[in-house]
Amino acid sequence: MNAFRVQILCGVAAWLLAGASLAQLPTKQANVGDSMSQGAGADGWPGDHPELSWVRGTSSNVYSVFMRYQELVPSFTQQPESVSGAEMVGGGNNFAAQAARVCAQEEKPQTVSVLLGSNDVCNRPRSSSADATANMYSLDTWVNALRAGLDQLAACLPPGATVHVLSFPRVDFLYSAGYAKGLWCPYVVWPGAGICRIVTAERSGARRAQIGARVNEYNEATRAEVELYRANADGRNPRGIHFVADWQGSIENGYANTSVGTYVFRAADINGTDCFHPSVSAQRKLACVAWASNPHGAGTASECLQ
């Protein structure tokens, strides 16, 4: 029997031993996200490939969160809201806009996954000043956008629902993976397609690391905010929604391979089309990591990211 399926069965057993019943498992999911959640370019072909998404996919090659839930609840359904190009902060498909669409669903989901942030970095222009992060969103701007989405989900989801907020990868690690994949990535693909120029056009490793450090700060701020909702601080979670974040801490603080945001992507983990989006094998890893930190899931992130 597949090891991950064994973990799922063990997770169900643990729930039952704790006094829970299968009736308490969710029957529908929604997701908020960007091109990573759309499976963009995963198989090497341009465009969205949602069947290869870590969260909503239907291919056994990725064994998505959706498929794992279906093994627990065969009638499990989904209504995704992720859109390629979406940011946490800006644009018409930002977190607040996608959360509003989740809330507008006639049948409300009992579990919602959130993975945003890469475009908040990649859509910013490269800085020519001494501070490589000068053009990036401030932490206050990031947190305000996060709250705008979480507030809506806290108000509209059924009591006891889960909101699972995932950290996002460091773009400097994606740069390193693309560079290792082949010289056509940094010298042909990235400049030709304009891929995340805040980091791919940056020649200084130290400046790329500055950008990566800001990503750490975004992820840390996200965890802190999620904890406030989890604790119903200032009455922001009156319906008892179960808010969960996967981020535990940065690589620099000893938390390597504990979350999506602490995985150091390798050449095989990104596609050969834009040399930046996760490949099929990486989408499978993301699904595994997400499931490991999901309250209904099983396993550990470190096992997923070996």
Phi, psi of 206 (to 5 degrees): -65, -40
**If residue 111 lies in a helix (H) or strand (E), which one and from where to where?**
strand 111-115
The per-residue pLDDT for 153 is: 99
CA angle centred on 244, ends 8 and 151, rounded to 5°: 135
The per-residue pLDDT for 2 is: 53
CB 257 within 8 A of CB 263: yes
Q: How far is CA 73 from CA 10, 28, 40, 105, 270, in A?
A: 15, 10, 27, 20, 32
CATH classification of the domain holding 131: 3.40.50.1110
- The tokens of 227 are what? 């904890």
Q: Which regions of the chain are under pLDDT 50? A: 1, 4, 6, 8, 11-23
Range of the domain at 170: 3-304
The per-residue pLDDT for 21 is: 46
- From the list 220, 38, 210, the residue with the least C-alpha distance to 132 is 210
What 8-state DSSP symbol labels residue 258?
S
The per-residue pLDDT for 124 is: 98
Report how many domains make up the chain.
1
pLDDT tens digits, 5-20:
545 455 444 444 444 4
The per-residue pLDDT for 306 is: 80
- Alpha-carbon distance of 207 to 238, in angstroms, equals 43
